[in-house]
Every structure is written in C-alpha cells, then in structure tokens.
Amino acid sequence: MPIAAPATRAPAPATGPARAGAALAALSGLLLALVAAEWGPLLSLDRTVADGLHRRAVAEPGLTHVNRVLTDWVWDTWTMRALLAVVVVTLFVRGGRRPALWAAATSTLGTFVQQSLKAALGRERPSWPDPVDSASYAAFPSGHALTATVTFGLLLWLAVARGARPAVRRAVAAAGAVSVLGVGFTRVYLGVHWLSDVIGGWLIGAALVAMSAAAYGRWGANRPHPADGA
C-alpha cells in the first residue's frame, strides 16, 4: 500500500519585519513617554547638543547656508514625498498596483501619525536670541526625519520586493542612509529641533515601514491580482 506524501504547507510569512516593527514601536513609545514626562536627563542631553551645534551654526554662516539648502530643498518633506510619488506612479503604470498603493498608503499614514503626535504633545522647539533658521508647528517628532525614513524605507522595500538588481538595492540603501542621517543633522544643527525629536522621527518612521512590510507579507503579497505584474 503506497504511503501518501504529506501535504505541502504554505510557507509562513516572514517574521523578521514584524519583530523589527514591534521592537522599533516599543522604543518609539519609550522615547515618547520620556518626552511627554519631560525627563530631566533627556532634556539635559537635548540642551547640551543644541547649544553646541547652535554656537557653531552662528560662527560658520557658510556651513549654515549649506545646511539650509539641504534641509529646505534636497531633503525637504515635499521633496521626499515627490520622489516616492514618482516611483509609486511608475510602478502603478507598469502593473505593480498593489505594492504601489500599499507604499502610498504607508506614506500617508506616516504623515498622519507625525501630525497627530505633534498636536498631541505640543512640544516647543528650541528658542534662540540669534536664530539661524525657523520652523512652524510643534517639535516632536521631526517631520523631516520621519518623512525621509519612511520614504527611503519604502523605496528599499519596493526594490527588494520587486526583485531589483543588487546594485540598485545598494544604491537605494546608500542614498537612504545619507539622507536620513543628513536631514536629522541639519534639523538639530539649524536649531529647529531637539536631538530627541530627530531620533523619534527615525524610530517612528522605521517602525511604520517595518510593520507595513510585515502586513503586506501577511495580507497583501499572497493574494493573486492580475494587475500586479511580474
């Protein structure tokens, strides 16, 4: 009597993004709690870093101008959104409708979370008698840091999910690392954010992308869709 072969089980969704998202969300929540409680050591660190960078920004107007160009044009939140929009539209037109819409929805959620936390906390930005730049809305989290993190996180996710060549993935990762770290530095250097605002933007943005990737792996990627393309 032949022995029946065991039924093949579908592979379980990858747990890596889900675990990373949970860890990043926990760190984000901890930092959020410390900011809301105005924890002394955190405020002291923020002030020390801000004072040191502000003195340098006032003393070096040339470098300050470069930082303003980078933060207001190259890494501006609308520049980041426009970059992602171009990729999303291109992917949508070429048949990858589901991942394109998923990325667009994640980016929109990031903006909503950012503005909601700013409104809820109402944290004041650094104030200077001799400011070198200005910004509106509340401080935490940094919108520039969060938006850059979400944008390049989604671009890297799309590159991996769509099977881009290794060289393309490395280029996206390198550009993302420079942009995310760079825009964070400009915001603190120009005196419009505290260091913890920037770290909060990084953590929240990375958590959103990781959880979005995990959710797509569980509910989005495994459902057939004739318009998704190869």
Burial class (CB in 10 A: 0-12, 13-18, 19+), 203: buried
- Lowest mean pLDDT across 5-9, 97-101, 144-148, 152-156: 5-9
Which tokens sit at 17? 């993004």
What pLDDT does 160 receive?
94
- Lowest mean pLDDT across 10-14, 57-61, 145-149, 200-204: 10-14
Whether the pLDDT of residue 9 is over 60: the answer is: no
What pLDDT does 30 receive?
98
- Residues of the chain above pLDDT 90, percent: 87
163-211 per-position pLDDT tens digit: 999 999 999 999 999 999 999 999 999 999 999 999 999 999 999 999 9
Contacts of 20 (CB under 8 A, 6+ apart): 206, 210
Helix axis angle, 97-121 relative to 143-161, nearest 10°?
Answer: 160
Cα-to-chain-centroid distance, residue 183: 11
What pLDDT does 219 receive?
84
Model confidence at 230, in pLDDT bands (50, 70, 90)? Answer: very low
User: How many Cβ atoms are within 10 Å of 43's Cβ, its own excluded?
Assistant: 15
What pLDDT does 213 receive?
96
User: Is the Cβ–Cβ distance between 142 and 197 less than 8 Å?
Assistant: yes
Region of 38 please: left (phi>0), alpha (psi -120 to 50) or beta. left
Q: Where are the alpha helices (DSSP H) in the chain?
A: 16-36, 40-59, 61-69, 77-93, 97-121, 143-161, 166-189, 195-215
Contacts of 103 (CB under 8 A, 6+ apart): 84, 87, 88, 91, 154, 157, 158
Region of 181 please: left (phi>0), alpha (psi -120 to 50) or beta. alpha
84-142 per-position pLDDT tens digit: 999 999 999 999 999 999 999 999 999 999 999 999 999 999 999 999 999 999 999 99
User: How many Cβ atoms are within 10 Å of 1's Cβ, its own excluded?
Assistant: 3
